[in-house]
């Protein structure tokens, strides 16, 4: 039986991969930071950092206090989260497979030697050098493409188009401070409406949406943000309220590519590139 897979990061895209691997019979241990900043919190296993456990589409991810405890309780369909941003647990545990799903648009320390097979999601990694394989995460024809040599498409800083809107649907903090929310995920908000406010040393600064739509995601209450920090995401489609609690099509596509590599590795079909 394959050893538990390590996944670094548990935001909404990484959660799609964790969910698919778990559903496919693999045990998954997730490594997260002390203060995750996921926006789509209803579909992000990283919320287990704050709540002790997190349920996404019927699957529960439980927080553990050590790699020893995580290895003891993890099993297929029941992923376990460990607060270990720097992946210190790898000094005690060497996984066969490691997936970097942090989506930081840069490499925060993942190396090929960390596992027999290393996979990274999105830009910031060179396949065949930093990791064994990179998965394309940019929406479009190449979404989910498995890259054996080279890089994913560089980050453009422009969100994918949903309902005819791109950058307009993402809300950024106008200043530094502590964020407080007026609305919950799933609420309908009108263009120009305040979705929250930022507590600063000189007073409160409102955070407003540019477009009308469903509040698809909003950052954790009380999170300390910097200027221009991503705080919320609005989906202009009226029917999208039910999507708030569902893993996205993008995340599922990426997850399928990761599963393809994991399955091929398990069957001995990956030769050469995964050998470090």
DSSP 44-94: -GGGHHHHSEEEETTEEEEEESSHHHHHHH-BTTB-EEEE-TT-GGGGT--
129-132 — which CB contacts under 8 Å span 24+ positions?
Answer: 131/100, 132/273, 132/274
- Tell me whether residue 81 is exposed, middle or buried, using C-beta atoms within 10 angstroms of its C-beta: 0 to 12, 13 to 18, 19 or more: buried
As beta bridge partners, residue 189 has 213
pLDDT value of residue 159? 79
pLDDT value of residue 240? 84
Report the range of poorest mean pLDDT among 206-220, 239-253, 260-274: 260-274
For residue 200, is pLDDT > 80? yes
C-alpha atoms less than 13 angstroms from C-alpha of 238 in its C-beta half-sphere: 0
For the chain, the domains span 5-156+248-266, 167-236
pTM of the model: 0.94
pLDDT value of residue 158? 74
Burial code of 144-155, b = ≥16 C-beta within 10 A, e = fewer?
bbebeeebbeee
Cβ atoms of residues 227 and 176 within 8 Å: yes
Digit-coded pLDDT (tens) for 99-156? 999 999 999 999 999 999 999 999 999 999 999 999 999 999 999 999 999 999 998 7
Strands (E), the chain: 5-8, 28-32, 53-56, 59-64, 80-83, 97-100, 117-121, 126-127, 133-135, 146-147, 150-151, 170-172, 177-181, 188-189, 194-200, 203-208, 213-218, 224-225, 230-235
For residue 27, is pLDDT > 60? yes
Digit-coded pLDDT (tens) for 234-263? 999 888 889 999 999 999 999 999 999 999
For residue 164, is pLDDT > 90? no
Annotation: CATH topology of 167-236: OB fold (Dihydrolipoamide Acetyltransferase, E2P) (2.40.50)
Residue closest to 249 by CA, chosen among 170, 106, 91, 139: 139
Instruction: Give the integer Cα–Cα distance in Å for 255 and 249.
Output: 10
Output the CA torsion sign for 237, 239, 245, 251.
negative
Residue with tokens 């559903």: 23
pLDDT value of residue 60? 98
Q: What is the percentage of the chain residues whose pLDDT exceeds 70?
A: 98
Q: Are strands 224-225 and 213-218 parallel, antiparallel or unpaired?
A: unpaired
Task: Provide the token pair at 139.
Answer: 């929406």
Q: Where does the pLDDT of residue 204 fall: very low under 50, low under 70, confident under 90, or very high at 90 and above?
A: very high
Cβ atoms of residues 135 and 150 within 8 Å: no
Q: For 185-210, what is the mean pLDDT?
A: 96
Task: Provide the token pair at 175.
Answer: 């200043």
Alpha-carbon torsion, ordered 267, 268, 272, 276, to 10 deg: 80
For residue 272, is pLDDT > 50? no
Architecture of the domain made up of 5-156+248-266? 3-Layer(aba) Sandwich (3.40)
Digit-coded pLDDT (tens) for 40-64? 999 999 999 999 999 999 999 999 9
For residue 275, is pLDDT > 70? no
For residue 163, is pLDDT > 90? no
Give 88 or 274, the one with higher predicted confidence. Answer: 88
Query: Which DSSP letter does residue 182 get?
Result: S
């Amino acid at each position: 039986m394959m050893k538990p897979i390590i996944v670094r990061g548990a935001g909404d895209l990484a959660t799609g991969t964790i969910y698919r691997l778990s559903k496919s019979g693999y045990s998954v241990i997730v490594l997260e930071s002390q203060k995750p900043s996921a926006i789509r919190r209803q579909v992000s296993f990283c919320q287990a950092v704050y709540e002790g456990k997190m349920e996404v589409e019927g699957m529960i991810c439980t927080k553990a206090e050590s790699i020893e405890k995580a290895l003891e309780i993890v099993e297929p369909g029941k992923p376990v989260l460990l607060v270990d941003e720097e992946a210190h647990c790898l000094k005690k545990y060497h996984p066969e497979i490691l997936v970097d799903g942090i989506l930081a648009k840069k490499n925060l320390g993942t190396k090929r030697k960390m596992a027999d097979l290393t996979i990274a999601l999105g830009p910031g990694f060179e396949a065949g050098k930093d990791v064994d394989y990179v998965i394309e995460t940019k929406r479009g024809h190449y979404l989910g493409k498995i890259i054996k040599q080279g890089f994913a498409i560089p980050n453009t800083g422009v969100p994918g188009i949903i309902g005819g809107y791109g950058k307009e649907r993402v809300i950024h903090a106008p200043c530094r401070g502590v964020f407080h929310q007026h609305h919950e995920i799933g609420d309908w908000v009108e263009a120009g409406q305040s979705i929250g406010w930022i507590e600063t040393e000189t007073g409160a600064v409102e955070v407003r949406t540019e477009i009308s739509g469903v509040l698809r995601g909003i950052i954790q209450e009380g999170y300390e943000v910097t200027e221009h920090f991503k705080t919320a995401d609005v989906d202009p489609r009226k029917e999208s309220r039910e999507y708030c609690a569902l893993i996205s099509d993008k995340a599922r596509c990426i997850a399928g590519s990761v599963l393809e590599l994991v399955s091929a590795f398990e069957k001995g079909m990956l030769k050469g590139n995964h050998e470090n």
